[in-house]
């Protein structure tokens, strides 16, 4: 039985949001389109997409925003343009940046820019670490929150100092805001307050939002216009973006409104995790409605325990497990969304106790 089949048989799933079937998703999209009299865009021209781009731009406090088919294309394009404008091809990136970890060297192979790693792999990079770079930088990119280290984010005052430094040194500051909406709830700030001082921001339309895919890039009108041209050059000029926009737009407001509830649930979860020595959260305190759990067993054993609990109790604990830094340790991710919101408190306490016992026996 595959992982997907085993997960589908579970009546309780801990991480993420409920996953509708394609039939359910498409039916909801069709109903929303009927209600709102939606017509397809043509190569990005159309009322629906233009209104949604304007909405995202306003939420982030930028002059303009534009749709892109993938976040991967969005970010390297933004940084390429930034470097050309600032007169340096060097970009400062954290060692766990998505560009390093998941994009297979595209920034080098496609000659977008040259990357410098800054900061400790297990913490957000700091102003002092940025200042220590002796070279003229075209751009610096910061992920808020940082997925690969459990959803950590920079301290608010530190972030303000980084923004000021980049402005003074004419360094284009770009935000990987794939989970910006989650960070806003945790900071207790609006997305616009967080984005203020950044020169460009990328946001995902599917991660916390639950859409089918796609991304938005926000910035100045001139910057966004250049990005649109580069998206075309790279094969991103999809004739109809409406399916992606509808899938995001129809649930966008509700998802953003729910983010504070997701974060409060995360805070509650942390209190319960303190009772279980084998479930060690990172970061030590919640910084977004996501976290990593460090387990005292190897990856293969962690997966076996997950599958055993799924088969015997109908509970799906997590998706993937990664090897830990220490031998015979592993790391799993929990995103606190609709699923964890719907599990009664007492039942969740029982599940955590069951999981902890399986890890320690």
Q: What is the full DSSP assignment across 262-281? A: HHHHHHHHHHHHTT-TT-EE
CATH of domain 22-253: 3.40.640.10
**Average pLDDT of span 125-138:** 97
- Would the pLDDT of 283 be above 90? yes
This prediction has a pTM of: 0.96
Distance CA 59, CA 135 (A): 34
The residue written with tokens 């910035």 in the block is 219
**Average pLDDT of span 148-162:** 97
DSSP summary character for residue 146: B
**Model confidence pLDDT, tens digit, residues 287-344:** 999 999 999 999 999 999 999 999 999 999 999 999 999 999 999 999 999 999 999 9
Enter the tokens of residue 261: 């509830």
pLDDT band of residue 1 (cuts 50, 70, 90) is confident
Distance CA 356, CA 243 (A): 42
Angle at 314 between CA 311 and CA 318, to 5 degrees: 90
Enter the tokens of residue 148: 């690969």
Distance CA 335, CA 208 (A): 9
Distance CA 104, CA 108 (A): 9
**Model confidence pLDDT, tens digit, residues 78-113:** 999 999 999 999 999 999 999 999 998 899 888 999
The pLDDT of residue 250 is 98
**Average pLDDT of span 115-129:** 97
Give percent of the chain with pLDDT exceeding 70: 100
CATH architecture assigned to 3-19+258-355 = Alpha-Beta Complex (3.90)
Nearest CA-CA partner of 236 in 114, 75, 98, 86: 75
Residue 320: which residues within 8 A CB-CB, separation 6 or more?
A: 332, 333
Asked if 63 and 221 touch (Cβ cutoff 8 Å), the reply is yes
**Average pLDDT of span 268-274:** 98
Instruction: Provide the residue ranges of all domains of the chain, joining segments of one domain with +.
Output: 3-19+258-355, 22-253
Q: Residue 260, preceding bond cis, omega within 30 degrees?
A: no
**Model confidence pLDDT, tens digit, residues 194-212:** 999 999 999 999 999 999 9
**Average pLDDT of span 214-242:** 97
Distance CA 96, CA 93 (A): 8
Nearest CA-CA partner of 177 in 157, 167, 192, 188: 192
Q: What is the full DSSP assignment across 291-321? A: EEEEESS-HHHHHHHHHHHHHHH-EE--S-E
Name residue 16's beta-bridge partners.
Answer: 336
Asked if 333 and 16 touch (Cβ cutoff 8 Å), the reply is no
pLDDT band of residue 142 (cuts 50, 70, 90) is very high
**Average pLDDT of span 226-240:** 96
The pLDDT of residue 91 is 98
**Model confidence pLDDT, tens digit, residues 22-45:** 999 999 999 999 999 999 999 999
Residue 75: which residues within 8 A CB-CB, separation 6 or more?
A: 98, 99, 141, 174, 176, 202
The pLDDT of residue 26 is 98
């Amino acid at each position: 039985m595959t992982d997907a089949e085993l997960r589908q048989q579970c009546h309780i799933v801990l991480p993420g949001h409920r996953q509708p079937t394609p039939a359910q998703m498409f039916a909801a999209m069709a109903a929303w389109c009927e209600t709102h009299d939606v017509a397809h865009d043509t190569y990005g021209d159309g009322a629906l997409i233009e209104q949604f781009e304007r909405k995202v731009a306003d939420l982030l406090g930028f002059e303009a925003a534009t749709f892109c088919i993938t976040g991967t294309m969005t970010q390297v394009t933004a940084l390429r343009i930034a470097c050309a404008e600032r007169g340096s091809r060097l970009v400062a990136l954290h060692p766990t940046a998505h560009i390093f970890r998941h994009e297979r060297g595209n920034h080098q192979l496609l000659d977008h820019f040259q990357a410098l790693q800054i900061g400790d792999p297990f913490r957000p990079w700091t102003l002092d670490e940025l200042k220590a770079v002796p070279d003229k930088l075209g751009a610096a990119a910061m992920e808020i929150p940082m997925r690969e280290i459990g959803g950590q984010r920079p301290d608010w005052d530190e972030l303000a100092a980084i923004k000021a430094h980049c402005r003074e040194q004419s360094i284009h500051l770009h935000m990987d805001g794939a989970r910006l909406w989650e960070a806003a709830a945790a900071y207790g700030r609006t997305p616009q307050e967080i984005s203020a001082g950044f020169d460009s921001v990328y946001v995902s339309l599917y991660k916390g939002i639950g859409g089918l895919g796609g991304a938005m890039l926000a910035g100045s009108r001139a910057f966004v216009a250049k990005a649109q041209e580069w998206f075309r050059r790279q094969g991103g000029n999809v004739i109809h973006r409406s399916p992606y926009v509808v899938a995001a737009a129809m649930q966008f407001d509700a998802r953003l409104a729910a983010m504070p509830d997701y974060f409060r649930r995360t805070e509650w979860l942390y209190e319960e995790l303190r009772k279980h020595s084998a479930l060690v959260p990172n970061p030590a305190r919640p910084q977004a409605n996501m976290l990593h759990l460090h387990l005292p067993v190897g990856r293969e054993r962690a997966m076996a325990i997950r599958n055993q609990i799924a088969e015997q109790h109908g509970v799906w604990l997590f998706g993937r497990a990664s090897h830990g830094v220490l031998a015979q340790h592993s790391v799993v991710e929990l995103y606190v969304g609709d699923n964890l919101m719907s599990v009664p408190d007492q039942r969740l306490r029982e599940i955590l106790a069951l999981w902890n016992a399986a890890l320690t026996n």
